[in-house]
Amino acid sequence: MVDGFLYAQPVKIRFGEGCFEKLGELLDELGVQRAVLVSGRHFAPQAERMTAADGRFAAAFCAVEQNPQLSGVEETVRLCREHGADAVIGIGGGSAMDTAKYAAAVAPNAGDAIDYYRGRRSFDAKSRLTIIAVPTTAGTGSEVTQVSVISCGDEKKTTNDPAFMPTAAVVDPLLTLGVPPRTTMNTGLDAIAHAIEGYWSKNHQPITDVLAIEAVRLALANLEKAFRDGSDRDARGAMSFASLLAGLSFAQPKTAACHACSYPLSERYHLPHGEACAFTLDSFIRLNADERLEKLARGAGAKDCAELAAHIRALKELAGLRCRLSELAGDVDAADLAAACLAHPLMNNNPRRFTQDELAAMFEALR
């Protein structure tokens, strides 16, 4: 029997090679007249060409860094207000899309970004600007989530609010062809972590289960190919689709233990988001293994959870990602790290409850 569920997905999704070229049609459809573009530096030359060619692209902020800072949101808000923007278009990895989403929610309202970050003001989904999310990595799924992850100094904070849900997503695999191999692996493992965590989340449900299994299957079959040959369009297309499915699979259920641990790992040791999630993913697959997870492993093409975990570990080693505590900066205190991970609210979403000793033992095994 299928369990009862509630599933909602409000984002208009366009997918396919070359669909970014039709961005103008989407602006017409949505009635956008003055948009601010937001991207990382890799996209700056193209953003400049776009603003010169079409008056609807009013301004561009192209200096978003990894683990994006609130200052980038503030600059985007300033541009939106100065140009009377009615839309923000985030083109990039999660960092650019999350900056765009946050700025779109702040710009039309009173107050500064810091007032919202510190909880002195609340977001309002009705008044936010139109948000168009264009992923250029295959990983975060931010184009279909109401999450924005923004840092202020060393504090990295996830905010989950309906005001951040994109109006539309434009997923064009051709935009990912230039992603360097290591970033391809980091982001691809992030997508796998989303799908697996959405699946084992306490809030999983039947539609997201199906999306998760297919996302993991596609990613396991294509991530190594995309890593070895970034120009492999079939592999890039499959990874963009896998990342989108993975985003849909965790958007509602939310993530769990791996993502809980990724925050202290990124804050303390500055691991990029995907690498931080991947650091504990194979360990948690072994610890969370049960009948349901075995079903995902088989559906994704592995013999069982042990083989799934070994495949993920092999991908990390192939790309030279950090797999051991000894590879992190300084002398890591496993018990202290375990305590910080346990304190993260996402840990409550994990199907199994861990003690601090159990988590410390997991980290010690990675020393």
* Least distance (Å) between residue 2 CB and ligand NAD: 27
Rule CB under 6 A: is residue 273 a binding residue for ligand NAD? yes
94 binds ligand NAD (CB under 6 A): yes
Q: Examine residue 319 and tell whether it contacts ligand NAD (CB under 6 A).
A: no
- Region near ligand NAD per CB under 6 A, out of 13-21, 117-125, 179-187, 334-342: 179-187
- Name the segment binding ligand NAD (CB under 6 A); options: 11-19, 25-33, 141-149, 212-220: 141-149
Judged by CB, which is closer to ligand NAD: 42, or 83? 42
230 binds ligand NAD (CB under 6 A): no
Count of residues touching ligand NAD (by CB under 6 A): 29
| Comparison of 77 and 274: residue with beta carbon closer to ligand NAD | 274
**Residue 67 interacts with ligand NAD (CB under 6 A): yes or no:** yes
Check binding of 145 to ligand NAD (CB under 6 A). yes
Determine if 237 is a binding residue for ligand NAD (CB under 6 A).
no
Name which position in 51, 66, 205, 356 contacts ligand NAD (CB under 6 A).
66
Based on the shown chain and the rule CB under 6 A, indicate whether residue 264 belongs to the binding site for ligand NAD. no
Q: Which of residues 17-46 bind ligand NAD (CB under 6 A)?
A: 40, 42
Between 42 and 322, CB nearer to ligand NAD: 42
Report how far residue 328's alpha carbon sits from residue 325's, in angstroms, rounded to the nearest whole number.
5
Which one among 149, 170, 223, 297 touches ligand NAD, defined by CB under 6 A?
149
In angstroms, give the least distance from the CB of 307 to ligand NAD.
26
| Interface with ligand NAD (CB under 6 A) | 40, 42, 66-67, 92-96, 98, 136-137, 139-142, 145, 147-149, 175-176, 178-179, 183, 187, 190, 273-274
